[in-house]
Amino acid sequence: MHKLSLTYFDIAGGRAEPARLAMQIGNISFKDIRFPFAQFAQVRKNTPLSQVPVLTIDGRQVTQCNSINRFVGKLAGLYPEDNVQALLCDEIMDALEDVTNLLRPTFNLQGEAMQSARKALSEGPITQYLTWLQTQLQQNGGTYFADNRLSIADLKVFVWIRTLNSGFLDHIPTTLVESVAPKLNEHMQRKEQTQDLIP
């Protein structure tokens, strides 16, 4: 069995959370290394590409969250074996990275500049991605995003929707998901009720 550790910010969400959840669901032993934002400048000096999350496998560091998600998803039995279903799983995860990358620059803004930027994102790309995700969910049966069972894609969507609803992102309305893609809230609530899933 691999010796695993996952390094990321000490928050309930973000890019490492789907992998954390997958390892918890799959009863995979790992060291959960969390650090406060104030320590990031120091932590990044010892990471590939100066970023997190980082999965350390038997002493070797690996970066890129969706690569980590696929690896951990396979270990936990949460990644499709069928190539088409794996493609659908990857499509969801990569789309969420696209929209997350649109949000990243806004963290460096303040006041009206942040408010204006996030309002534009909420009314434009975030609404577009939410609508698209809801369509994908419905096309795949309405319960899961791929393979007719829980996958790492469901966990990634769960984390993103929970974050949008939480109020953590200033100037992103906490009612946005419910107003434009209520089926995604239903999906999130089903995952919250899964006993193996840590909310």
Residue 197 lies in a domain: no
pLDDT tops 90 at residue 198: no
Same domain, 31 and 112: no
15 with 36, same domain? yes
Phi, psi of 22 (to 5 degrees): -60, -45
Does residue 25 sit in the same domain as residue 119? no
pLDDT in tens, 130-173: 999 999 999 999 999 999 999 999 999 999 999 999 999 999 99
Residue-level pLDDT at 20: 96
Task: Record the tokens describing residue 18, joined without a space.
Answer: 């789907």
Count CB-CB contacts under 10 A for residue 26: 16
Q: Tell me the mean pLDDT in the region 187-198.
A: 71
Would 30 be classed as within a structural domain?
yes
The structure's pTM equals 0.94
- Using the CB atoms, write b or e for 43-73: b if 16+ within 10 Å: beeebeeeebbbbbeeeeeebbbbebbbbbb
My answer on whether 107 and 169 are in the same domain is yes
Which of 76, 107, 123 is a domain's end point?
76
The pLDDT score that the predictor gives to residue 38 is: 96
Q: What is the pLDDT of residue 197?
A: 52
The answer to whether position 198 is within a domain reads no
Q: Give yes or no: residues 109 and 177 share one domain.
A: yes
Model confidence over 93-131: pLDDT tens digits?
Answer: 999 999 999 999 999 999 999 999 999 999 999 999 999
| Residue 47's CATH number | 3.40.30.10
**Domain of 91: which CATH number?**
1.20.1050.10
Residue 193 pLDDT class (50, 70, 90 cuts): confident
Q: Which residues pair with 33 in a beta bridge?
A: 7
Q: What pLDDT does 1 receive?
A: 80
Omega into 53 within 30° of 0, i.e. cis?
yes
Structural domain span for residue 129: 83-192
Do 55 and 125 lie in a common domain? no
Task: Based on the fold, state whether residues 150 and 175 are members of the same structural domain.
Answer: yes
Q: What is the DSSP letter of 151?
A: -
In sequence order, the 6+-apart residues with CB closer than 8 A to the CB of 77 are 26
* Residue 30 CB contacts under 8 Å (≥ 6 apart), including other chains: 4, 5, 6, 23
76, 92, 124 - which closes a domain: 76
Give me 193's structure tokens: 């009720």
